[in-house]
Amino acid sequence: MRFDILTVFPNLFSSIFEESILKRAIEMGYLEVHIHNIRDYATDKHHITDDYPYGGGGGMVMKPEPLFRAVEGVLGVREGGALPPVPIILLCPQGRTFTQAIAKELSGYPRVLLICGRYEGVDERVRVHLATDEISIGDYVLSGGELPAMVVVEAVVRLLPGVLGDPLGARQDSFAMGLLEYPHYTRPAVYRGYAVPEVLLSGNHAEIARWRRREALRRTWQRRPDLLARIELSEEDRLFLRELEEKKAP
């Protein structure tokens, strides 16, 4: 899978792809990442990519010309030509909120292009006539789209077959199955008087799976009950949740 990332601060990406899972994915050939400096596509002497907004107001706005030229240049089409069917995603606060489902959706594409917004925002013509999608990673404001771009790449790449050492790892993560993940424990079995639940030491895989399912349900019920309305629950799941509700009732 290939990611093209357009930014005015390419050095921000100097280390993220040189560590851990993303580095291994690149080395194994599952991932290509190309960082493009938007300033390289500005034609004026000073390579300016932003300007004052029409109508006044604070802040600067990213100009349309360098962004259009950058996307066309990266995708290899002539100026004003038809763009290939590659998702062109503008990272900005107004976009749809990024979720595991969107990560799964994007993992199905062989190539994705990410535009990192900056300053007060981008010229609306980029949003309307160039970007095919807009993504936000949450209801807060950052200085630019670089950190969101890193988040998107990390979440998507984890879903590519072969990237994780454990083939079931991505499917068992929080949100992958609609629930928050169950608790994890490792050695020692007792630390400072705090013991690992006996069931995890039992070797009974059926009981361990049942415990993990219930703990995932319990954690989701406690912390993100809104998620429970979106997933398919078994009769055993519903019975367990009713028990939790009854214990909570005064």
The catalytic residues are: 93, 120, 158, 173
CB-based contact 26:32 (threshold 8 Å)? yes
CB-based contact 64:36 (threshold 8 Å)? no
- CA 7, 10, 15, 18 dihedral sign is positive
For 139, list phi and psi in degrees, rounded to 5: -85, 65
